A and B are shown apart, each in its own frame.
Chain A
Amino acid sequence: MASDDEDDYIFLGTPLQEEEESRAGQRRKPVNDPALTKQLPLHKQEVTDAEGRRRFHGAFTGGYSAGYYNTVGSLEGWTPSTFKSSRQDRGAARSQKVEDFLDEDELEEVRKSGPQVRAEYDTFGSTAAEQARRAANIEASTRDKGHLTFVPDAIITPVADSMGIRLLQSMGWRQGKGVGPPAAADKPQKKGRRWGPEAGVIPDNTPIYALAPKTDQHGLGFDPYKGAEEFRGAKRQRPEGDQKAGQADGTKKRRGVAFGTGAAEETDTYGYMEDYVTHDGQSRGGDFNFEIASDEEDSDLPLARGAKLDPQYMLPGKATPLSILAAGQAPQKDIIPGFIRAAETISPKVYPPPKVPASYKPHHDFPEDSGGVVKEAERPAREVPPPADLDLRKTIEAMAPFVARNGPAFEAVAVKANAKSQKFSFLVGGAGAEYYRWRVQVAKAEAKTSEGSVAQRRAPLSADDRGALLGEAQLAAAAAATSVHAGADLQAAGPNLSAIADSDRKRLQEKLASSFASATEQDMGFGGRPVGLHQPTPGPAASAPAPPPSSAAAAFLGSIGGRFASGGTFEPEAAGGLQPGVTAAAASAQQDAPQRPQRSVQEWRPEPLLCKRFNVPDPFKGRPAVPTSDVARFMSDRLALPDTAAAGSTALEAAVRPLAAAQQLPGPPPVLQGQGVVPQQLPGPPPLRPVTTDSRALADAFLESLGAEDSGTPAQGGTTSALPPPPGLPPPPGLEGNAPVAAATPFVEKPLDLFKAIFEDDDSSEEDDEEDPKAASVQAVQNPEGKEDELAAARQAALAARAVKGADQAASTAAAAPAAAGDATGRPEGATEGAGGSAVQPAAAHSGGLAEALERAQQLAAEKVRERQRAEQEQEMMRASYAATDAGTSVDAAKPTGQRGENGNAAVSEEERQAIERALKTHRHSKKKKKERDKEKHRKAKEEKKAKKKSHKKSKSSRKEEKKSSSKRRDRQSDTNESDTGSDELE
């Protein structure tokens, strides 16, 4: 049946899914811990129900969450307020108010339109006070925050009425009312009424005029609505309207935050551009056209708005410009409201500028100092040939600047002082007086241009001017180079200036020409000109460079003339082609016809990438960025005059003692005495040839010797083949100054510092395995044996020092040498160990001077070390017990060694020596590496132990008695270990 039933049904379409299943897809996430979700920002918090489904409330208004997952309660559910016994405080019965059960926005509404006592029933004025406060709050909130706000009012609310208010209240004043006697009623009162006099009406509260803060950006007093009152009204109405709208919204119980801005919410941009952009009431909104747009846009924009095209309100720059006062054309009604057409136009009367008289000079002529000399100075300069007498000329030239600077008073003093002197007769009209006058004049002109014109200076000071002002001495070379302007003059000037070699001068000229800007070039720049398109003056070349360089050049050249003591040929007029008059003339000649174009070519370095982009090979490829020939590290390199110096020195050589050059040390350049100023002021030229060879040979020898030291010392340090020379410094290179001597001793050996050689880490001997006594002994055997005598002393010292330093070895080890006494050379192991073993033997004293020395060293070392010894004893023992495996061999070898040592301790010095060698070597090795050092320590401990053992076996006479006895027990323990390991090793 069932199957039949099923057959009867025909299913069309897809069956509906069960709701639960379909919902399951929507399940987004399990219920979150609200504590966690609360940490999220607001926009990420989601409201879901217990099953994790999202509850979306108010989807069209933005959604909101109500309570705890749409419930009133909390995570625990709805919890009523806990019971609280009121037995203790019965009087204060808690009264529940409506507000306790109201939402925030409900409260807001209540607050806005809460029940209030009407004014006439407001007996105590509390409502009025509340109202006032509320009004103040509202007013403060609406007011611009940038302006004065009643912040204290907003924050502090009075708890109790002030005394003044209370007084007023006691006098009958109520809050919300004005102060003053009740105003009489309108009707004239009758005295004798039945109900007594009629109560007057209390005056209203004085309104508080909060001055409206200025929120716009108009100028003070400007009223944009003047004459357009309707707009003012519109503006005033708007905020009120908005408020009303807001209240209306409130009654609609709008909740939550909507997406975007709702229809009721308007962005209040309306009022901002109100003053500038006119608009009609219908088309409010954001469609302000602030930009000066293109014409067609402008023309159709107002039309699109449906407003009539009012040409008045068009912005400037539009098709129809704003034309207000086109007199006679525009009728009165076209004028913008608030403006009236001026009745009369006032054209300010313009007075022409006063005429400058033709004789006016734009600068003031200061009257010169009175005095005959100055009067003379005013005369145009006329050059006077210098007197023939060179001394006189020099004197005059020295005197003139002083006189020029200090005035005639100085001259008078000079005259008085030198009245008798024939040399100064030029002061009083003697020989050379004319020349002197002229010099004074020149010096004065120079002083005037350099000092007096600071205020009127038109061009910035050049380096030369500044130097002249400051009285700085010019580098002679620079002066020489610049004074080449008047090359011929200087050539003829005399012996001093020609002292500069021609080649030097030429070179300097080249260098300095590129380094220093001359005065004329400096003013060629466009610094003073306005940048941009400008009106060129008719004669650009003539006007620009003319005046400043002339004065600057005069000053500069004058200063040069002053510096050179014998610059008699100095002629300011003929100063090197700087003739303003000529230039001006040439320029004026060129004024009519424009100048021909001038072409100049410079090197220009395109970037490699630029060349690549222009598909052009780099013209500077492979060449250095800066031409190296021109690079001098110091300016002085360029100013050196090697040729001059060479010439000078050769002259000197020829003149003064011929042998002096050979003996002279390289150092200060030769000073040319009395030969003019130039070489003295020069930086030192490179030393002269003959001297250089000597000194260079010396220096080379010295350097070589240093190199030999460095390389030679390590090689020699380990061997005994070469003996160091008696310690001393290598011959001082400079002082002896004998090239053959220096050359004869190119390999100066550093005195062999034995202490260092022994105790410092020596890399060259690293290849030795210090653990292997065989290797050490073999080396020792291989040593040449001829030079023991010389070595002896050094070794004694070394041993002593070693004993001091090697604290762990102490005295017993330090005296190791005699131990070898009876040892055969064929048994190196025995010899090595014998070194330790025989330390305690008094027989060591027999072995001659060396043994004595060792004994002494031992004692010394023992004294020093003894204090440390005690402290280290325990540690030492520990190490000894820890001794490594190879100790086993020594244990075995110890016995025969000891026996033989007993027999043949008739001190064979050679064997002793070998033992010492070994000891030294092993010790040196011990200092090599840290790791190896540890092993060495073990070995030493082993030796020590053996020695102890031996002595223990033989006699108790050792000075190490206590030490040994204390370590006996441990020794035995370690012995057992050693014997085990030793047997292994022997196999």
Chain B
Amino acid sequence: MVPLMVPVRLNKAGTYCLSCGKDRSIKLWNPHRGVLIKTYAGHGYDVRDAAVCADNSKFASCGGDRQIFLWDVASGRTIRKFRGHDGVVNSVCLGPAEATLVTGGYDQAVRVWDMRSRSFDAIQTIKPFADSVTSVAVSHNAEILASSVDGTVRRFDIRGGCMYVDQLHAAVTSMALSNDGNCVLASCLDTRLRLLDKASGELLAQYKGHKQESAKMDCSLTPSDAHVLSGSEDGRVCYWDLVEETLVESFQAHSGVVCSLAMHPDGNLLLTSSTDGTVKVWQ
């Protein structure tokens, strides 16, 4: 089964959300009222991920057409296109001060793009991965994190000039940074979510109870870092207590695989998207 990717992303303030989908378009919604505001079409294949700038004027998206688009939110036009990935681009995220764009893709590479200059080439291509890069993240203190199907979560410390490789022995489908920036939550294909200490690489906790065998599903932490969230292939959304590792709550959200989660920054709103083509807002 080809997992349908319907990522949903909230902007920083949580006022709008973007849903990307198989239909090659990105849709801007108001999740509070359920209003479709705008549709951004331009990708040639499915859209895999999107990242919104802090001022809500631009957002970046990436997709199966191996391209990364930078969109103007108001006009709906592409401002820039970044080309260079040799495969599907799985994940995109914005660097500090939105000076860079970090992307990771099926070509086993993380690329860092320059948003300040108009250069066509990536600033740096990081290719130590042995398999597809599933998600990338940038931490506050100048670190690039990337998870890969080769079972590793790699942290590239720019300040220190080091690469920390955490071999988890299972393909990592997605990865999330905790809000305090000290932990890394990795969703692995062996039906476990692993919480790692970012600094030491120590395994802090494992979360089980959901179903994950083949799909790429997002994981997330609540804004208070009290709970760990993940979708499940049977359509449930599962909550774990971060410290206790116990499944606190799970509810049937969708009929299909819950492939993406986005938590509102105030913690009251949860957006889930599923392969059934719907985005649901939970309060």
Residue B75 at the chain A interface, CB threshold 8 Å: no
B123 touches A532 (CB 8 A): no
Within 8 A of B (CB), among A519-542: 525-526, 529, 531-536, 540-541
Within 8 A of B (CB), among A576-622: 594-607, 609-611, 613-617, 619-620
Residue B213 at the chain A interface, CB threshold 8 Å: yes
CB contact between B192 and one of A534, A594, A599, A609 (< 8 Å): that residue: A594
In Å, the complex CA distance between A598 and B215 comes to 24
How far apart are B100's CB and chain A's nearest CB, in angstroms?
5
In Å, the complex CA distance between A533 and B149 comes to 6
Tell whether A615 pairs with B123 under 8 Å between CB atoms, given A532-B149, A533-B149, A606-B158: no
Q: Interface stretch among B167-175, B233-241, B249-257?
A: B167-175
Tell whether A604 pairs with B150 under 8 Å between CB atoms, given A532-B131, A540-B170, A599-B200: no
A541 touches B161 (CB 8 A): no
**Quick one: CB contact mask for A396-425 with B, threshold 8 Å, 1 for yes?**
000000000000000000000000000000
CB contact between A603 and one of B95, B124, B151, B161 (< 8 Å): that residue: B161
B203 touches A597 (CB 8 A): yes
Residue B164 at the chain A interface, CB threshold 8 Å: yes
Residue B97 at the chain A interface, CB threshold 8 Å: yes
B131 touches A606 (CB 8 A): no
How far apart are A379's CB and chain B's nearest CB, in angstroms?
40
Residue of B nearest to A607 (CB): B124
A597 touches B166 (CB 8 A): yes
**Quick one: CB contact mask for B95-126 with A, threshold 8 Å, 1 for yes?**
11101100000101000101010000001101
Q: How many A-B contacts if CB must be within 8 Å? A: 130
CB contact between A602 and one of B149, B163, B201 (< 8 Å): that residue: B163
How far apart are B183's CB and chain A's nearest CB, in angstroms?
13
**Which residues of B are found within 8 Å of A529, using beta-carbon distances?**
131
B100 touches A619 (CB 8 A): no
How far apart are B20's CB and chain A's nearest CB, in angstroms?
15
A526 touches B194 (CB 8 A): no
Residue B247 at the chain A interface, CB threshold 8 Å: no
Residue B211 at the chain A interface, CB threshold 8 Å: no
**Which residues of A are found within 8 Å of B213, using beta-carbon distances?**
535
CB contact between A606 and one of B99, B132, B156, B200 (< 8 Å): that residue: B156
Tell whether A536 pairs with B190 under 8 Å between CB atoms, given A599-B165, A600-B167, A602-B163: yes
**Which residues of A are found within 8 Å of B189, using beta-carbon distances?**
533-536
**Which residues of B are found within 8 Å of A603, using beta-carbon distances?**
161-163
In Å, the complex CA distance between A601 and B154 comes to 10
How far apart are B195's CB and chain A's nearest CB, in angstroms?
10
CB contact between A594 and one of B106, B114, B165, B190 (< 8 Å): that residue: B190
Residue B142 at the chain A interface, CB threshold 8 Å: yes
In Å, the complex CA distance between A531 and B170 comes to 13
Residue of B nearest to A527 (CB): B130
Tell whether A616 pairs with B163 under 8 Å between CB atoms, given A526-B131, A531-B131, A531-B149: no
Residue B3 at the chain A interface, CB threshold 8 Å: yes
Residue B159 at the chain A interface, CB threshold 8 Å: yes
Residue of A nearest to B2 (CB): A533
In Å, the complex CA distance between A294 and B165 comes to 44
**Which residues of B are found within 8 Å of A535, using beta-carbon distances?**
189, 213-214
A602 touches B216 (CB 8 A): no
Tell whether A526 pairs with B130 under 8 Å between CB atoms, given A532-B106, A597-B194, A613-B123: yes
How far apart are B258's CB and chain A's nearest CB, in angstroms?
16
A613 touches B95 (CB 8 A): yes
Residue B92 at the chain A interface, CB threshold 8 Å: no
Tell whether A619 pairs with B161 under 8 Å between CB atoms, given A595-B169, A596-B203, A613-B99: yes
In Å, the complex CA distance between A619 and B161 comes to 6
In Å, the complex CA distance between A583 and B96 comes to 45
Tell whether A611 pairs with B158 under 8 Å between CB atoms, given A597-B203, A616-B142: yes
**Quick one: CB contact mask for A613-643 with B, threshold 8 Å, 1 for yes?**
1111101100000000000000000000000
B132 touches A531 (CB 8 A): yes
CB contact between A597 and one of B100, B124, B161, B201 (< 8 Å): that residue: B201
**Quick one: CB contact mask for A922-955 with B, threshold 8 Å, 1 for yes?**
0000000000000000000000000000000000
In Å, the complex CA distance between A607 and B189 comes to 33
B192 touches A600 (CB 8 A): no
**Which residues of A are found within 8 Å of B167, using beta-carbon distances?**
597-600
**Which residues of A are found within 8 Å of B200, using beta-carbon distances?**
599
B131 touches A597 (CB 8 A): no
**Which residues of A are found within 8 Å of B203, using beta-carbon distances?**
596-597
B149 touches A616 (CB 8 A): no
Q: How large is the interface on A (under 10, 10 to 19, 20 to 34, 35 or more residues)?
A: 35 or more
How far apart are B279's CB and chain A's nearest CB, in angstroms?
15
Residue B196 at the chain A interface, CB threshold 8 Å: yes
A619 touches B201 (CB 8 A): no
Residue of B nearest to A296 (CB): B36
**Which residues of A are found within 8 Å of B3, using beta-carbon distances?**
533
**Which residues of A are found within 8 Å of B39, using beta-carbon distances?**
294
Residue of A nearest to B215 (CB): A533
**Which residues of B are found within 8 Å of A616, using beta-carbon distances?**
142, 158-159
**Quick one: CB contact mask for B195-230 with A, threshold 8 Å, 1 for yes?**
010001111001000000111100000000000000
**Which residues of A are found within 8 Å of B150, using beta-carbon distances?**
526
**Which residues of A are found within 8 Å of B156, using beta-carbon distances?**
604, 606
**Which residues of A are found within 8 Å of B162, using beta-carbon distances?**
601-604
Residue of B nearest to A529 (CB): B131
**Quick one: CB contact mask for A432-452 with B, threshold 8 Å, 1 for yes?**
000000000000000000000
In Å, the complex CA distance between A600 and B163 comes to 8
Residue of B nearest to A609 (CB): B123
B161 touches A594 (CB 8 A): no
**Which residues of B are found within 8 Å of A609, using beta-carbon distances?**
114, 123-124
**Which residues of A are found within 8 Å of B108, using beta-carbon distances?**
531
CB contact between A614 and one of B131, B158, B168, B216 (< 8 Å): that residue: B158
CB contact between B100 and one of A534, A605, A613 (< 8 Å): that residue: A613
In Å, the complex CA distance between A541 and B190 comes to 14
A617 touches B201 (CB 8 A): no
**Which residues of B are found within 8 Å of A606, using beta-carbon distances?**
124, 156, 158, 161
How far apart are B64's CB and chain A's nearest CB, in angstroms?
13
A534 touches B169 (CB 8 A): no
**Which residues of B are found within 8 Å of A525, using beta-carbon distances?**
130
Residue of A nearest to B108 (CB): A531
**Which residues of A are found within 8 Å of B157, using beta-carbon distances?**
604
How far apart are A319's CB and chain B's nearest CB, in angstroms?
13
**Which residues of A are found within 8 Å of B215, using beta-carbon distances?**
533
How far apart are B130's CB and chain A's nearest CB, in angstroms?
4
Tell whether A610 pairs with B100 under 8 Å between CB atoms, given A535-B189, A536-B190: yes
Tell whether A536 pairs with B163 under 8 Å between CB atoms, given A610-B123, A613-B116: no
B201 touches A599 (CB 8 A): yes
**Which residues of B are found within 8 Å of A595, using beta-carbon distances?**
169
**Which residues of A are found within 8 Å of B201, using beta-carbon distances?**
597-599
Tell whether A594 pairs with B169 under 8 Å between CB atoms, given A526-B150, A531-B131, A613-B100: yes
CB contact between B171 and one of A294, A534, A601 (< 8 Å): that residue: A534
Other 19 A-B pairs with CB < 8 A, given A597-B169, A599-B201, A620-B161: A526-B130, A529-B131, A531-B106, A531-B131, A531-B149, A533-B132, A534-B149, A536-B190, A597-B168, A597-B196, A599-B166, A601-B162, A601-B165, A604-B162, A609-B124, A610-B112, A613-B116, A615-B142, A619-B161
29 A-B pairs within 8 Å (CB atoms) are namely A525-B130, A526-B131, A531-B108, A531-B132, A533-B171, A533-B215, A533-B216, A534-B171, A536-B151, A536-B169, A536-B171, A541-B169, A594-B169, A595-B169, A597-B166, A597-B167, A597-B201, A599-B201, A601-B165, A602-B128, A602-B163, A604-B163, A606-B156, A606-B158, A607-B124, A614-B95, A614-B100, A616-B142, A616-B158
Chain B residues proximal to chain A, CB less than 8 Å = 3, 23, 39, 95-97, 99-100, 106, 108, 112, 114, 116, 123-124, 126, 128, 130-132, 142, 149-151, 156-171, 173, 189-190, 192, 194, 196, 200-203, 206, 213-216
Closest CB pairs A-B (n = 6) = A599-B201, A619-B161, A604-B163, A607-B124, A595-B169, A613-B99
